[in-house]
Amino acid sequence: MINKQSSIPIYYQLAELIRERLAAGEYVPGDMLPSEREFSDRYDISRMTVRQAITSLVNEGILHRKKGTGTFVSAPKINQTLGGLTSFSEDMKARGLTPSNKLLRFEKVLCTRKDIRDILNLTEEDYVYEIERVRLADNQPMAIESIWLNARFVPDLHRDIVQSSLYDYLEKEAGLVIGEATQMLEASIISFEEAELLKVNKDAPVLMIERHTYLQEGTPLEVVRSRYRADRYRFSVDLPRLR
């Protein structure tokens, strides 16, 4: 029940109440939620407060809105384990989803950014491919990816290749052996343009993953900064007990 005397904001109480209903299985993925008006009548709270509660659950990915219809319970998020080095295409195919890309930028340029040069061990005379793509699964945008790829290893890369799997090309066509990567995960926000590309609210949270990938013999190959939709993705790691 909603307690109006409580110091806990009413919108938060309502969001918790909806969350509990979902956990109890009262609503399942695909179900339509009661309207804002029904919630506001039932709990005697303003529609603005109802909207705030629903928006917070939409931003978390638990609910989604369909224009002109209502609010629906979302499918569970994609659970991505962080145990090994895989490509986006492999990850999606393993789930029975079809990966695709929307290429935003593809250029071979001198590596002008010092932060990238430092990671890739390059000088100002070295070239990188700067690649930016929206990564989609079953035509749903999942992430925006910015790649800086050491051009020395793949002089003939062209834009058609990165319309599909980059790792496939690197390993099967270019004869490279990808060895290992270091990955960092942090919370981030995105620009208005990026929110439009990801089809999320402009203030929706995203998960920023930075990956530094190395070839088998240890040479740095790529720096990748990806912004994943926090409403569609969660990452999990297995932790052996350390003593």
- Binding positions for ligand 16G, rule: CB under 6 A: 87-89, 145, 147, 165-168, 209, 211, 213, 222, 224, 226
Q: How far is the CB of 167 from ligand 16G (least distance, A)?
A: 3
Which DSSP symbol is given to 151?
G
Strand ordering across the sheet containing 140-150: 99-110, 127-137, 140-150, 220-229, 206-215, 178-188
From residue 33, alpha-carbon distances to 13, 18, 26, 27, 176 in Å are: 17, 9, 10, 8, 51
Q: Where are the beta strands (DSSP E) in 56-171?
A: 63-66, 70-73, 78-81, 99-110, 127-137, 140-150
Q: How far is the CB of 165 from ligand 16G (least distance, A)?
A: 4
How far apart are alpha carbons 190 and 59 in whole angstroms?
13
Q: How far is the CB of 145 from ligand 16G (least distance, A)?
A: 5
Give the residue with the Cβ less far from ligand 16G, 52 or 188. Answer: 188
- Give the count of alpha carbons within 13 A of 109, CB side only: 12
Give the residue with the Cβ less far from ligand 16G, 130 or 145. Answer: 145
Give the residue with the Cβ less far from ligand 16G, 54 or 120. Answer: 120
Q: How far is the CB of 203 from ligand 16G (least distance, A)?
A: 23
Q: How far is the CB of 86 from ligand 16G (least distance, A)?
A: 7
Give the residue with the Cβ less far from ligand 16G, 200 or 207. Answer: 207
Asked whether the beta carbons of 209 and 226 are under 8 A apart, the reply is: yes
Q: Which residues pair with 213 in a beta bridge?
A: 181, 222
Q: Helix, strand or coil for residue 121?
A: coil
Give the residue with the Cβ less far from ligand 16G, 14 or 136. Answer: 136
Q: How far is the CB of 105 from ligand 16G (least distance, A)?
A: 14
Give the residue with the Cβ less far from ligand 16G, 143 or 200. Answer: 143
